Structure 1
Amino acid sequence: MVPWPASHDRPAVVTVNPLNQLTLAELRCRTSVKWRTYDSDVLPLWVAEMDVSLAAPVAGALRDAIDRGDTGYPCGTAYAEALGGFAARRWAWPDLRVDHTAVVPDVMLGIVEVLRLLTDPGDAVVVCAPVYPPFYAFVGHDGRRVIEAPLAPDLRMDLAALDEAFRRARAGRRRAVFLLCNPHNPTGVVHRREELDAVADLARRHGVRVVSDEIHAPLVLPGAHFTPYLTLAGAEDAFAVLSASKAWNLAGLKSALVVAGRQAVADLRRLPEEVGHGPSHLGVIAHTAAFRDGGGWLDQLLDGLDANRDLLGTLLAEHCPTIGYHRPEGTYLAWLDCTALGTDSGPGTGEPGVVTDVAGPAKLFLDRARVALSSGHVFGTGGTGFVRLNFATSPAILTEAVSRMGHAVTEHATPAH
């Protein structure tokens, strides 16, 4: 390779913010749930879809497949190989073995299938609340019991609460699983290695198996570092479930990977063969391209999310100073403390897991600001009085949304004459 003669002769690196490429009018042409659930005057910052175009490597891989008519059944190990390469480059996880993986339709369905391998109906699944609402819904619908280990006031895992939850889950020597959200949704906390080491130690002492949902793993922002759970000593009997879905906005292209720890491979081998029929072949192609070739686009996205994370803090301080903002370390989700507004959780169901239920401060912002946010009460204990805001949008939309929220807060605080 011939070197560039001098630094000033090298081609400039063009940095493009993927969050700043689509107008509101263009986004309103979308037919996904984010843009079709509410009226057209509502700014939707709720469900975890990003306002971005497809990364060029992903779009190119899909176009090539369409041009070839390559729309049959998925086959091969390219997806797992691409994830393994990405994990080695990004997370110093060099030994993710392809033969320790299985392709599943998506992360939550993969989690359910793993729970079926590790537990029986009536057994307990421990979660750290507040947490992603489908953890409650999918676990409950499959006949397992949810036991909460609430997060500490700083929104990090409370090891004492987890210890007690593990003890309760194992009562009567029943089998139990800890469903870990790593990084954590909705708080945006990225668990530190020492915290995860402590979890592995607790799980080993109690005989609890760990299943780690790592769908947001590529979305760790500057200042934090992601630790794959399976890289820990003591996590050999655990599982992780990953996909490119969140980081490259591929929720509609179904595919994910279950990864088994060294001592969990025999369990993985019991996964029913028909589970592998669910993933989309185009989904596998898209996710493979994302992990293999989408790193440059992801870096630009992370820069945009980092800037939006700071912008959100500035906007809230200006327009909504009574709302508490815990700066997220990862994901593109902000967990906002609106308890000072004095709204309650009604008229929602009060039940976690009902993701479309809007109550409390989320209802205030929907009704008075025409901004759709995720209602905190559906995330379980500790969620009432909070909202989750998706900041994976353009700075202009984010600015308009928080400005509207500020006006709604002012109106709410002003006594009626």
Structure 2
Amino acid sequence: MQRVAAEPLDILRTRTSAKWRSFPPDVLPLPVAEMDYPLAEPIAHALHAAVDRSDTGYSSGSRPVAEAFQGFAATRLGWDVDPARVTCTADVSLGNVEVLRRVTQPGDGVVITSPVYYPFFDLLPEAGCAVVDVPLLGGIDEGWSLDLDGIDAAFAAGARAMLLCNPHNPTGTVPDAPTLAALADIAARHDVTIVSDEVHGPLAQPATPYTPFLTVSDAAREHGVAVTAATKAFNLAGLKTALIVTASDRGDRVRAAMPYEVEWRMSQFGAIATIAAFREGGPWLDGVLASLDDNRRLLADLIADELPGVGYRMPDASYLAWLDLSALGWGDDPAAYALEHARVALANGPRFGAIAGRGHARLNFACTPEVLAEAVTRLGDARVSPVE
């Protein structure tokens, strides 16, 4: 497999995105979920061609993107998507909020599963909902899983929806089909909605492919809405485009109830880039997955050598490592210590859940092996004795 090589620091520091403008130049920035790989050539070509023809007007709607995704989903994800059941919008977070607004009433509880992508804690209030946290079961040693009994109890107590992270960020866990089918049965029993954020799905490793929620059962298709994008897999976060996908009349009514402007928030360049990614980006994505596989394994070796006692479980999807740094004695928020004393920026663990994230941090390993090694070496050099 031909790997895609990440770009060197001198090139990366010319970028103006958040990852490269949020920290001083002596800091290795590994918190933001942006990859350091060069843009896939088919995407770059499509964007350059759009500029050459001054194609900078409004996007032409969901259908072209939906049709490109239909082919990608069928060949890579085993997912039969009907383009007529897709509404595009600006990004996955916005899509999650708009779906939740349609399926809940103000003040309704919505289940999330900490440690979880920290904007979820803000998206629910934005949608007018209350956070109902049902933490994942397990941990780094044994792996994580959904607490199905806890989720069932939360719905029985009145929660009206769940915002599912599939695959899970930050743990990199990929729920299997039986687990998702059981979750769908619980949703059907309580007549609630599962909003499945699947933006990391195409970044699942081949040995642990992700299962799109809408594929697992009739109950999932009836009670589920999927929100996804090319943005994580192809590093297009700044080119605002996402897809809201349904597979039932019930789901279609959710999309139909959305304001007209939801679809018009999609970016023209985002649509162009997303179509190119879904149609022609497969070989590049395969190379990125191979490079990420190398790096997740390298990280395990580096931690064993430089940071003994730090907990790390290789993620099955994406490029984010969830680290238990408690043994280092760096407090509840070890990312703050790492930034000050190691000049390595990590994502702050407690933001992913005040209890589940305590003593943890998230590290982005979509970088060169040299940057990854330097980051772990710096962290190792900053070790202190554990707090008594």
Residue 18 of structure 1, CA deviation: 3.3
The 3-state SS of whatever aligns with 1:249 is coil
Q: Match of 2:254, as an amino acid?
A: D
Name the SS of the counterpart of 2:362 in structure 1: strand
The letter for the 1-side match of 2:66 is: A
Equivalent position to 1:296, from 283, 290, 311: 283
What secondary structure, in the 3-state scheme, does the structure 2 residue paired with 1:236 have? helix
Which of 169, 176, 180 is the aligned partner of 2:158?
169
Q: Within the alignment, does 1:92 sit opposite 2:92 as a pair?
A: no
1:140-151 equivalence runs, <5 A:
140-151=125-136
Contact map agreement 1:147 1:169 (CA 8 A) in 2 = no
Number of the residue aligned with 1:382: 356
1:7-57 residue CA offsets vs partner (Å, 9 max, x unmatched): xxxxxx8x24232xx111111111111111111000001010000111000
User: What's 2:374 paired with?
Assistant: 400
What residue identity is the alignment partner of 2:154?
Answer: A
Work out whether residues 128 and 148 of structure 1, in 8 Å CA contact, stay in contact via their aligned partners in 2: yes
Taking the aligned partners of 2:214 and 2:166, their CA distance within structure 1 comes to 11
State the match for 2:147 in structure 1: 158
Distance 1:54 1:123, change over 3 A: same
Name the counterpart of 2:171. Answer: 187
Matching residue's letter, 2:152: D
User: Could you tell me which amino acid in structure 1 is paired with residue 196 of structure 2?
Assistant: S
The AA in structure 2 aligned to 1:135 is F
Q: Which residue of 2 aligns with 1:230?
A: 214
User: 1:49 is matched with which residue?
Assistant: 34
Paired position in structure 2 for 1:241: 227
For the pair 1:413 / 2:388, whether they are aligned, the reply is no
Q: Is the 8 A contact 1:34 1:47 kept in 2?
A: yes
How far 1:92 sits from its partner (Å)?
1.4
CA contact (8 A) 2:19 2:34 kept: yes
What is the alpha-carbon distance in structure 1 between the residues aligned to residue 84 and residue 258 of structure 2? 13
Aligned residue-pair number: 378
Q: Quick check: 1:370 aligned with 2:355?
A: no
Correspondence 1:391 to 2:365: yes
Instruction: Tell me whether 1:334 sits opposite 2:318 in the alignment.
Output: no
Q: Give 3-state SS (helix, strand or coil) of 2:220's partner.
A: coil
In structure 2, the partner of 1:6 is none
Deviation, 1:338, is 1.2
| 2:195 alignment partner, one of 203, 211, 232 | 211
Alignment of 1:127-138 (within 5 A): 127-138=112-123
How far is the alpha carbon of 1:414 from its aligned partner? Answer: 8.6
Partner residue in 1 for 2:247: 261
Q: Distance in 2 between matches of 1:278 and 1:414?
A: 49
Q: Which amino acid aligns with 1:259?
A: V
Q: Distance in 1 between matches of 2:117 and 2:263?
A: 25
Q: SS of 2:382's equivalent?
A: helix
Q: Which residue identity lines up with residue 169 of structure 2 in the other structure?
A: N
**What do you get for the CA RMSD once the two structures are aligned?**
1.3
Q: Distance in 2 between matches of 1:218 and 1:103?
A: 18
The reply to whether residue 286 of structure 1 matches residue 273 of structure 2 is yes
CA distance in 2, matches of 1:155, 1:414: 26
Give, in angstroms, the shift of residue 161 of structure 1. 1.7
Structure 1 residue 218 displacement after superposition? 0.4
Q: Which runs of 5+ in 1 are unaligned?
A: 1-12, 171-175, 346-359
Q: How far off is 1:247 after superposition?
A: 0.6
Task: Report which stretch shifted further, 231-240 or 212-221.
Answer: 231-240
Matches within 5 A, 1:4-153: 15-19=2-6, 22-76=7-61, 77-94=63-80, 96-153=81-138
Moved over 3 A (4+): none
Using the TM superposition, name which of 178-187 and 275-284 deviates more: 275-284
Give SS of 1:53's match. coil
Corresponding residue SS for 2:331 = coil
Q: Report whether the alignment pairs 1:317 with 2:304.
A: yes
Taking structure 1 as reference, are residues 16 and 344 closer, same or farther at Cα in structure 2, changes over 3 Å only?
A: closer
